[in-house]
Amino acid sequence: MAPRSCDSASARHRAHRRRLDTCGDSVRRHSVTKGGAVQALIPGRPAEVTPQWLSTVLSIDGAPVGVAAVDVTPVGTGQTGATYRLSVTYTDAHPDLPATFVVKLPSQDETVRERVALGYRSEHAFYTAMADRVAVPMPHCYHCDAASDGADFVLLLADMSPAVQGDQLAGCREAEARLAVEALAGLHGPTWCDPDLDGMPGIVMPRPDADGAKGFGDIAVMAAGITADKLGERMSMQDRDTLSEAMSRVTPWLLAAGDRFALLHGDFRLDNLLFDPERTRVAVVDWQTLGVGLPARDLAYFTATSLLPDERSTLERDLVDRYHAALAGHGVTGYDAEDCWRDYRLGVVQAPLITALGFAFASSTERGDEMALTMLERGCRAVRELGALELIDELGRRN
């Protein structure tokens, strides 16, 4: 495996430039069938996920696939999209195709659809431009399409059943955490310091310049205030202070350690991980918040929000070491363990940041409020225990 360091990344990844330039939003909105009828390639609602549609998309890149029947049933209660399980009857035997799929469509709520259109574009960009470049365990993608504005979107994946979603509120076990951080290295390692990421379409949180960092920092401060007001007395004064102080440092935080970057999942936590029943394998889903930045932001966000605080403080050194070793296995060089630990401490600000941004500008629900409060409690405690704010100030004085 070729080594990956920031110094050599530009030449090494230049070959991928063309792929990134041409992977933008699809304009294929319809397909014409034999009888002349027009079939939408991007279904707007579950009723449009028909045998004809499934046959069309499964036949795009290979031999024709006949589908006799499709049974569509809802799965979960996604806040930004609608997910359904498809039970399929084929007209002929197709041993290379599954009997069940999962299809993800935009939210049926027009307000939500408009608000998260960039997220749909982000997920489309990941599956069409990056999925075959990284080493992240994920469900096989059979079809992904999006309109230019992101309002219409479809994602057809292999059904991972009987895999189960992680429980964000309950927190994860040590074995699950180890699987997660090693999987995360499979995202960061292959994209380590790739300069072409800055031009990739669908990035929700790009690497900012000074003006961009200032603008994002202002939004973070606003989100902190809204979040504290919405949660009221349910949020402790200590956590309110930590959130406020952390968000006031987002601008210098974004500009710190800018020489190390990779593709970020952006919301790498238990709700977006699927585990097999024996907890020996993991699959990563929900790529709607792609970013480019300090890789350890994903790592610290996961440990700070997905582990119970006492478990996190006990396990985090081992988890960071496992992640660091896995990066080396993906060819990353010139990055020692102490730099990784420092980046981890710095990256933990991602936990209150993403939680506040997601909560402040979304409609309140009972579970959503409980989720935000839990993640903020865990994240703010991690910020304090890891000395993240002091580290930001120290790095600022050096610069």
Say yes or no: 180 and 121 in one domain.
no
- Of the residues 158, 181, 197, which one is the last residue of a structural domain? 158
Say yes or no: 380 and 265 in one domain.
yes
Domain residue limits at 69: 23-158
The answer to the question of residue 313 being in a domain is: yes
Q: Which long-range contacts (CB under 8 A, 24 or more apart) does 281-284 make?
A: 281/137, 281/163, 281/179, 282/137, 282/176, 282/179, 282/180, 282/183, 283/137, 283/138, 283/139, 283/160, 283/163, 284/136, 284/137, 284/138, 284/183, 284/187
Tell me which residue has tokens 């930590």: 242
- The tens place of each residue's pLDDT in the chain, 399 residues long, gives 556 666 555 444 444 443 333 333 333 344 434 343 434 579 988 999 999 999 999 998 788 999 999 999 998 655 566 899 999 999 999 999 999 999 999 877 777 777 788 899 999 999 999 999 999 999 999 999 998 887 889 999 999 999 999 999 999 999 999 999 999 999 999 999 999 999 898 999 999 999 999 999 999 999 999 999 999 999 999 999 999 999 999 999 999 988 999 999 999 999 999 999 999 999 999 999 999 999 999 999 999 999 999 999 999 999 999 999 999 999 999 999 999 999 999 999 999 999 999 999 888 889 889 999 999 999 999 999 999 999 999 998 887
The answer to the question of residue 58 being in a domain is: yes
Coarse DSSP helix, strand, coil percentages of the chain, rounded to the nearest 5 percent: 50, 15, 35
Say yes or no: 106 and 182 in one domain.
no
Say yes or no: 173 and 150 in one domain.
no
Say yes or no: 223 and 150 in one domain.
no
Say yes or no: 79 and 228 in one domain.
no
Q: What's the pLDDT score for residue 12? A: 45
Say yes or no: 126 and 203 in one domain.
no
What is the CATH classification number for the domain harbouring 343? 3.90.1200.10
In terms of phi and psi (left: phi > 0; alpha: psi -120 to 50; beta: otherwise), the region of 136 is beta
pTM: 0.90
- Of the residues 134, 158, 182, which one is the last residue of a structural domain? 158
E strand segments, the chain: 30-32, 38-40, 67-74, 81-90, 100-106, 141-146, 153-158, 164-165, 262-264, 273-275, 282-284, 291-293
Strands 262-264 vs 282-284: parallel, antiparallel or unpaired: unpaired
Say yes or no: 357 and 239 in one domain.
yes
**Alpha-carbon span 313 to 50, nearest angstrom:** 50
Number of independent structural domains in the chain: 2
Say yes or no: 222 and 77 in one domain.
no
Say yes or no: 244 and 175 in one domain.
yes
Q: List the structure tokens of 81.
A: 């999209």
The answer to the question of residue 2 being in a domain is: no
Say yes or no: 336 and 224 in one domain.
yes
Q: What's the pLDDT score for residue 257? A: 86
The answer to the question of residue 15 being in a domain is: no
- Of the residues 158, 174, 203, which one is the last residue of a structural domain? 158
